[in-house]
Amino acid sequence: MSAALGPRAGRERPTLTRYAWLSIAAALVTMGLKAGAYLITGSVGLLSDAMESTVNLVAAVVALWALHLAARPPDESHHYGHTKAEYLSAGVEGLMIFVAAGAIIWTAVHRFLNPQALERVGAGLAVSMVAAGVNLGVALVLLRAGREHRSITLTADGRHLLTDVWTSCGVLVAVLAVGLTGWEWLDPTIALIVGVNILVAGAVLIRRSSAGLMDAALPLADQDAIDLVLEHFGGEGVQFHALRTRESGHRRFVSVHVLVPGAWTVQQGHDLLERLEAELVEALPGAVVFTHLEPVEDPASWGDSDLSPGDRRPRE
C-alpha cells in the first residue's frame, strides 16, 4: 500500500478562525441594528429579520469551534485528522435555522391575529439597510474564502448570510409597502415568507453536512479528473479497480488498486505508483491518495474488486 499527500495536505492550512471572528462581529452588529429597526417601527417583519441574526451569531460561534478543531493535525485517536468537525458545524447551523424559522412563523401568525400599525418606517428602513449591507460584505468574504480553502463551514456561513441579505431585502420592500399603502397584512405575510425561505436554507445545509458525515463520493467534476488520470496510465497491461473516493471537510481521499504484469520488478511497480499518485495530486490539489499494487494475472487480485456495490468495473 502506498499513499501520497497533496502539497497542502502535508501541512496545515492557514488558520481560518479569523473568518469566524468576522462573522461573529457581523452578527452582533446586525443583530443590534435590526433590533433597533424593530423597536423604531414595530414591524414583525423586521423582528423576524433580527431573530435570524441571533441564529447567525450562534452559527458563527459554532463555526469558530469547528474551524479550530478541524485545523488540528491527525493524532493517534484520529488518524485522518479532525476535518469532519466542519460538517457538524454546518449541521448545527441548519438546525438553528429551523428553530429561527419556527419562531418567525409563530410571530407572524400572532401578528396576523393581532394587527399593529407601523411607526417611523423611514428611520427603521434606513437602519435595516445598513445591517443588510454589513451582511452582504461579510457573506462575499466568507464565500470567497470557502471556495479558496474548500471549507464547508465558511461556505455554509456565507450562504446563510447571503440568504439573510435577500431576506432583509424582502422585509424592507414589505415594510415600505405597508408604509405607502397602509396594508398591515403585508408585514406578517412577508414574515411568513421569510420563515419558509429560512426552512429551505436549513434543509440544504443539513443535507450537505449529512452527505459529508456519510462519506459520500467526491463530486462528479473531481471523479472526472480522476478518470482522465487513470486513462492516461492505462495500457501496457496496466488496469485499475476498487476505486473509492470521499471527502472530509477540505480534504479529499482517493483509493485505487493498480494491477500490473506479474513479471514487473518491484521497482517498476513502485515507479508507476509514484507517477500515478503525483498526477492524481496534481489533478486534485491537497488530496490524499492511497494505491495498492497487484499482479494482473493472479485471480486473487480480482477478489477484492467488489468491496462495495458502487465500485467501478475494471478498466484497461
**pTM greater than 0.85:** no
pLDDT of residue 254: 92
Domain ranges in the chain are 12-213, 220-302
pLDDT of residue 275: 92
Band (297; pLDDT cuts 50, 70, 90): confident
Mean per-residue pLDDT, 289-296:
91
Band (212; pLDDT cuts 50, 70, 90): low
Please give the CATH topology (third level) of the domain spanning 12-213.
Alpha-lytic protease prodomain-like (1.20.1510)
pLDDT of residue 7: 40
Tens-digit pLDDT profile for residues 140-169: 999 998 888 877 778 878 877 877 787 777
Tens-digit pLDDT profile for residues 249-272: 667 889 999 999 988 999 999 999
Whether residue 135 has pLDDT greater than 60? yes
**Three state DSSP letters for the chain:** CEEEECCCCCCCCCCCHHHHHHHHHHHHHHHHHHHHHHHHHCCHHHHHHHHHHHHHHHHHHHHHHHHHHHCCCCECCECCCCCCHHHHHHHHHHHHHHHHHHHHHHHHHHHHHCCCCCCCHHHHHHHHHHHHHHHHHHHHHHHHHHHHHCCHHHHHHHHHHHHHHHHHHHHHHHHHHHHHHCCCCHHHHHHHHHHHHHHHHHHHHHHHHHHHHCCCCCCHHHHHHHHHHHHHHCECCEEEEEEEEEEECCEEEEEEEEEECCCCCHHHHHHHHHHHHHHHHHHCCCCEEEEEEEECCCHHHHCCCCCCCCCCCCEC
Domain 220-302 classification at class level: alpha beta
Mean per-residue pLDDT, 89-96:
72
Band (109; pLDDT cuts 50, 70, 90): confident
